[in-house]
Amino acid sequence: MNLALLFDGDFISADRVLLRGRRLEHLNGILKASTGDRIPVGRVNGAMGFGEVLKLSDQEAELQVTLAHSPPPALPLTLILAMPRPKMFRRVLQTCASLGVKDIWLINSYKVEKSFWQTPWLSEDNLRENLTLGLEQAKDTVMPQVHIRKLFKPFVEDELPTLLADKRALVAHPGMTTPCPTHLDGPAALCIGPEGGFTDYEVAKLGEAGCQGVHLGRRILRVETAVPVLVSRLFDACQ
């Protein structure tokens, strides 16, 4: 936690918050904070700054917050992911949030096992918790939006074309002839398949919706590795 993300419910006045639970444990256990210390904070979807510790106990911490600067820029990316295996999914969410991805669509695909959709990590609270961990890691405040689409065909036929309007649209898929582009300077949409990849039918449907098939070299990467590799290739993290 390189920043404590503050939610509306944490505020007891315009510039004071009470922290409990995980963030309090971090203050006490990891940061070993004391009264008077300043710790980095940010208000969800708002500005970043510091919180000065006014009171601290095992039950709660009271901080006076000063929020003065903007979060880092978001990536102009719509990420469309075949729903990952649950044990990877949490990490993928955290990774996306830490990289600055703000628009995530979880879609079905032939090789997505039905059971993946049953994972408790898809609950609203758990999505928010894992995205929060990613934002706190990266020092960002802007909560990504997650959209869940459990039917492939209606999504690709009815929603995807609109979603892709005015974007460079790509589907990363082994065996394509075009290398994945680098250093885009405008908005993009990127589809990433499940373990084992999209089927030929699915790649064709994504193509009909406007996605260009691109490859990423000979190596087959797990989704949790492919996401940072592709994002780093498409956009310049240093800008």
Q: Which of 55, 150, 153, 222 binds its own copies (CB under 8 A)?
A: 222
Shortest distance (Å) from residue 8 CB to its own copies: 24
Would you count residue 221 as binding its own copies (CB under 8 A)?
yes
202 lines the binding site for its own copies (CB under 8 A): no
Q: Does 219 bind its own copies (CB under 8 A)?
A: yes
Give the contact letters, 142-181, x = binds to its own copies (CB under 8 A), - = no. Answer: -------------------------------------xx-
Among 5, 33, 95, 132, binds its own copies (CB under 8 A): 95
d(CA 141, CA 100): 10
User: Residue 90: phi, psi to the nearest 5?
Assistant: -55, -50
74-106 residues labelled b (16+ CB within 10 A) or e (exposed) = ebbbbbbbbbbbbeebbbbbbbbbbbbbbbbbb
Please count the residues of this chain forming the interface with its own copies, following the rule CB under 8 A: 33
User: Residue 35 or residue 225: which is nearer to its own copies going by CB?
Assistant: 225
| Residue selected from 19, 65, 98, 130 as contacting its own copies according to rule CB under 8 A | 98
Output the six-digit token pair for 181.
Answer: 């582009």
Output the six-digit token pair for 177: 């002839």
- Does position 61 interact with its own copies (CB under 8 A)? The reply is no
Choose the stretch contacting its own copies; rule: CB under 8 A; options: 15-23, 110-118, 150-158, 213-221.
Answer: 213-221
Measured from the CB atom, the residue of 54 and 220 that comes closer to its own copies is: 220
Contacts 24+ apart (CB under 8 A), 47-54: 47/71, 47/141, 48/3, 48/139, 48/141, 51/4, 51/6, 51/17, 53/27, 54/16
Does position 84 interact with its own copies (CB under 8 A)? The reply is no
